[in-house]
């Protein structure tokens, strides 16, 4: 997955009754979402012929048959590589061959410009029919009336096929608004050759989530690396590469990077209302209060841990691109996409790469925020837009996308069919997928995200974590007041 600015064995997954039980829980999701109420008044979606009943395989789409009138569907998304962009073009060609009256026009922009572009379009009243967003913006997109409720357009089988944490992250009030497209699953990659050169044992390579390493064990390893490399006269190699998310460097992407250090000091299994639970949750149940959640004792300790990366000289204080790929850093806190790209044909790394879990604080934490397109709620062609989106999620479209981009696929049934996921590192990543959690659920995530990123950067550069988190939490609280009713 690319980055917003300020990427199991082939075992049988739980199916049948268990899968539908999971879906039933999904349909009852109402907690941890707040502010404005979800958009009401959407017309009921008539059920159409369902899977197999349309002119082309539309996957989980079960809405009305598509119109015979001329339609132009507009799709705003990021520009991928030429190879991936060409895949989209070929998919549209097959779709339009089945429905010659429907044409697709794309607007491709840099990934980091998507949030601002979406905001400009939706405020103008003339937005594209489909727009690429990210799962951490679900509450905002749904509760501000920007995203169409997709639930009734899709079969229960399709919905239950989505990895549960990602389906939940794309949902508000038990309804799916953002389609989980590709997952960001945080893991640690390491260069075995640098570890060997430094004479330091490599991180633990494990096959289950209850193993791995702790925050303190990771720091012991990084300090040993740094000490030994410097002793050997190597002043250029870092223990941990600079964050490559967002614009890079500290404070570049709280959702996918820095929040790991805060929220792993929480615990979702702790008693609700306890400090540990609030630290994991990140915001109140109604989504309108951050004080007491972002600035708990545990959160402060998490940011002190994060600050050590910089104060102890373990990672750069500024953005430096491609350190890990260039063998200038021993480790990278990144996503499964890097692993999948390593293992795909022609994607071998120039050095031996190992994989382990992110460090455990009071718990193992990972945020599953990933790319997620939505249908604009005011689209003049909601049926056709929903059908196109469902079509792009079929095996025929997703499998080549996975193989070209190395993206994590969000549907269990397709994962089972892909041989690539039978490898040990990918097996571990799939277990991470079942454990990950979405971003703090608030309609004011734009404000939250905009405030926490610079605060994290200040902490990295030496600001007091307790004072900074407390002031930032109060600032976000003030910003969220406009959503109160």
What are the backbone dihedrals phi and psi of residue 324, each rounded to the nearest 5 degrees, phi first? -70, -45
Whole-number mean pLDDT of the chain?
89
Pick the CATH number of 16-184+369-430 from 3.40.190.10, 1.10.645.10, 3.40.50.410, 3.40.800.20: 3.40.190.10
pLDDT tens readout for residues 240-287: 999 988 778 999 899 989 999 999 999 999 999 999 999 999 999 999
C-alpha 161/C-alpha 59 separation (Å) is 12
For the chain, the 3-state helix, strand and coil shares in percent, each to the nearest 5, are 45, 15, 45
Give the global pTM.
Answer: 0.86
| pLDDT for res 27 | 38
DSSP string, 110-178: -GGGHHHHHHHHHHHT---SEEEEEGGGHHHHHHTT-B---GGGB-HHHHHHB-HHHHHHTEETTEE-S
DSSP 285: T
Q: With bands split at pLDDT 50, 70 and 90, how would you rate the model's confidence at 10?
A: very low
pLDDT tens readout for residues 383-413: 999 999 999 999 999 999 988 887 888 999 9
pLDDT tens readout for residues 108-164: 999 888 988 999 999 999 999 999 999 999 999 999 899 999 999 999 999 999 999
Hey, what CATH class is 186-356 in? alpha beta
| pLDDT for res 103 | 98
By the 10 Å C-beta count (0-12 exposed, 13-18 middle, 19+ buried), 344 is classed as: middle
pLDDT tops 90 at residue 341: no
Structure tokens at 423: 């490898």
In the chain, CATH 3.40.190.10 covers: 16-184+369-430, 186-356
Q: With bands split at pLDDT 50, 70 and 90, how would you rate the model's confidence at 183?
A: confident
Query: Which residue has tokens 């964050």?
Result: 243
374 beta partners: 131
| pLDDT for res 69 | 98
Angle, CA of 15, 341 and 193, to the nearest 5°: 120
């Amino acid at each position: 997955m690319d980055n917003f600015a300020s990427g199991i064995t082939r075992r049988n997954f739980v199916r049948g009754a268990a899968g539908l039980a999971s879906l039933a829980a999904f349909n009852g999701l109402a907690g941890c979402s707040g502010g404005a109420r979800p958009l009401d008044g959407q017309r009921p979606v008539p059920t159409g012929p369902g899977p197999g009943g349309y002119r082309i395989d539309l996957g989980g789409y079960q809405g009305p048959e598509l119109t015979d009138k001329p339609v132009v569907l507009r799709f705003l998304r990021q520009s991928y590589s030429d190879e991936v962009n060409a895949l989209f073009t070929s998919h549209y060609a097959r779709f339009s061959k089945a429905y010659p009256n429907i044409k697709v026009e794309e607007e491709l922009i840099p990934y980091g410009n998507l949030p601002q572009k979406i905001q400009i379009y939706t405020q103008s009243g003339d937005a594209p029919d489909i727009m690429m967003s990210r799962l951490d913006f679900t509450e905002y997109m749904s509760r501000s009336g920007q995203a169409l409720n997709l639930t009734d357009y899709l079969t229960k089988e399709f919905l239950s096929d989505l990895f549960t944490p990602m389906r939940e992250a794309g949902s508000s009030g038990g309804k799916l608004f953002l389609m989980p497209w590709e997952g960001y699953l945080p893991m640690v990659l390491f260069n075995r050759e640098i570890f060997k050169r430094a004479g330091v044992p490599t991180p633990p390579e494990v096959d289950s989530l209850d193993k791995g390493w702790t925050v303190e064990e990771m720091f012991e390893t990084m300090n040993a690396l740094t000490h030994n490399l410097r002793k050997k006269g190597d002043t250029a190699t870092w223990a941990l590469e600079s964050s490559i998310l967002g614009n890079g460097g500290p404070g570049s992407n709280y959702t996918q990077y820095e929040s790991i250090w805060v929220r792993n000091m929480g615990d979702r299994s702790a008693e609700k209302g306890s400090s540990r639970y609030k630290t994991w949750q990140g915001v109140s149940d109604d989504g309108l209060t951050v004080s007491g959640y972002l600035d708990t004792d545990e959160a402060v300790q998490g940011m002190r841990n994060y600050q050590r990366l910089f104060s102890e000289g373990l990672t750069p204080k500024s953005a430096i691109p491609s350190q890990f790929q260039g063998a200038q850093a021993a480790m990278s806190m990144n996503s499964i996409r890097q692993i999948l790209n390593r293992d795909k044909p022609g994607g071998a790394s120039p050095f031996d790469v190992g994989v382990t879990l992110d460090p455990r604080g009071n718990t193992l934490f990972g945020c599953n925020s990933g790319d997620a397109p939505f249908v604009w709620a005011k689209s003049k062609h909601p049926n056709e837009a929903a059908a196109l989106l469902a079509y792009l999620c079929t095996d025929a479209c997703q499998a080549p996308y996975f193989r070209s981009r190395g993206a994590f696929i969000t549907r269990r049934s397709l994962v089972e069919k892909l041989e690539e996921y039978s490898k040990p590192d990918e097996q571990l990543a799939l277990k991470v997928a079942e454990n990950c959690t979405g971003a703090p659920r608030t309609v004011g995530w734009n404000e939250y995200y905009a405030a926490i990123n610079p605060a994290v950067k200040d902490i990295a550069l030496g600001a007091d974590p307790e004072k900074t988190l407390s002031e930032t939490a109060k600032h976000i609280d003030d910003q969220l007041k406009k959503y109160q009713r």
